[in-house]
Structure formats: structure tokens, C-alpha cells
Structure 1
Amino acid sequence: MAKRLIPSFNRILVEKIIPPSKTNSGILLPEKTPKLNSGKVVAVGPGAQDRDGKHIPVNLKEGDTVLLPEYGGTEVKLGEKEYHLYRDDDILGTLHD
């Protein structure tokens, strides 16, 4: 049975997107290709409270593709997979096709 992590407060759990190192036809891609530091939101906390006790919801939802900061986040290992835990306001933006 796999464990599931539900983030606390305004935190989100992200699985980083690793760009492919070769194409479908087997051509190796150079490592100098610029890569976007992005990830997919796996789980979202319930949100935080302000000083007056008012609920502040998280702006993201599960399945969103997000732009991550270069540094930060907490690495979390669940089973064989690696995830990163960020605060909602650490996320730089969402990516759309």
C-alpha cells in the first residue's frame, strides 16, 4: 500500500518534470539545452489563515503544471519516487499549452 502525503496549510507537493535526454527515434539531446524548472502538482494543502482567522485558500490545484524557483522546497521521498514540498507563494507561476 503506497503512502499518500497531504500537505499542511498552504503547502503543495510537486513532482518535478525531468526533460527527456533523447528523442523517440533515439537521438541523444545535448545537456546544454535550456530546461525549464517545472513540475506537476500532486497534492495541495487546505490553505492558511490570516491574523484575523480568515481562511486563505491555496491558488493551485492537483494536476497543475507549475514553474518552480531554482532553489528551495523540501525534498520528500515516498516509496521510490521523489517529490518536493513548496509553499503556495514560492511557486513562480502556472504553465499552459
Structure 2
Amino acid sequence: MTIKPLADRVVTKMVEAEETTKSGIILAGSAKEKPQIAEIVAVGPGGVVDGKEVTMYVKAGDKVLLSKYSGTEVKVDGVEYTILRQSDILAVVE
């Protein structure tokens, strides 16, 4: 099954959080922060949203920085995705 976002929405898959600190300490599952960097899997077409023209600036494959609690998490075929509006993306990570 595939997810095709509508309007100004994007589908992202979170990048795995590091399990060790820079000094080499291994973190327990509960000590890890929620990752904020995700890879874009699919992008909606943009268009007119709420009476305003929306141009999509991101594309599939981009790595982006997300707001900490943005979007809606869904699970499809055992994989977790987050669906959010383009405006919830803070930056593109290069």
C-alpha cells in the first residue's frame, strides 16, 4: 500500500535516533529524544489551500527538520510515517 498526500501535505519517515552519545555512552530506549529529522517519502501537489496558492518547496528524498510534535503519525505495512503540512517543516537539512 502506498500513501499519496493531498494538497500541501507531505509524508515523512523519521530518521533513526543515535543510540550512543558523542562520548560513547549507550542510551537506553527511554533516554532517547524523539528524532526531529525525517526523510520525505511523498509530496502533495500543492495548489490552492484555504484560498491561498501553495507552492511545494520540498521533494521526495529531502531530509528535513520538523517541529517536535507536528503532524499525524500513521502505521502502514508495519512502517511508521508522519503526515504533516509543508508549513510544519522548519528547514531542509543538507
TM-score for the superposition, normalised by structure 2: 0.79
Per the alignment, residue 48 of structure 1 pairs with: 47
CA offset digits 1:17-60 (Å, max 9, x no partner) = 1123259xxx65235677751100000000031637xx532110
Per the alignment, residue 81 of structure 1 pairs with: 79
Distance 2:34 2:12 in 1: 17
Distance 1:76 1:8 in 2: 15
Q: Does 1:92 align with 2:90?
A: yes
Identity of aligned residues (%): 31
Per the alignment, residue 60 of structure 2 pairs with: 62
Structure 1 residues without counterparts, runs of 5 or longer: none
Distance 2:81 2:25 in 1: 26
Structure 2 residues without counterparts, runs of 5 or longer: none
Between Structure 1 and Structure 2, the one with more strand by share is: 2
Equivalent residue pairs, number: 89
> Of residues 20, 39, 44 in structure 1, which corresponds to 2:18?
20
Contact 1:36 1:67 in 2 (8 A): no
Q: Which of structure 1's runs of 4+ aligned residues deviate more than 4 A?
A: 31-36
Distance 1:70 1:35 in 2: 8
- 1:15 counterpart letter in structure 2: K
TM-score for the superposition, normalised by structure 1: 0.77
Distance 1:33 1:6 in 2: 30
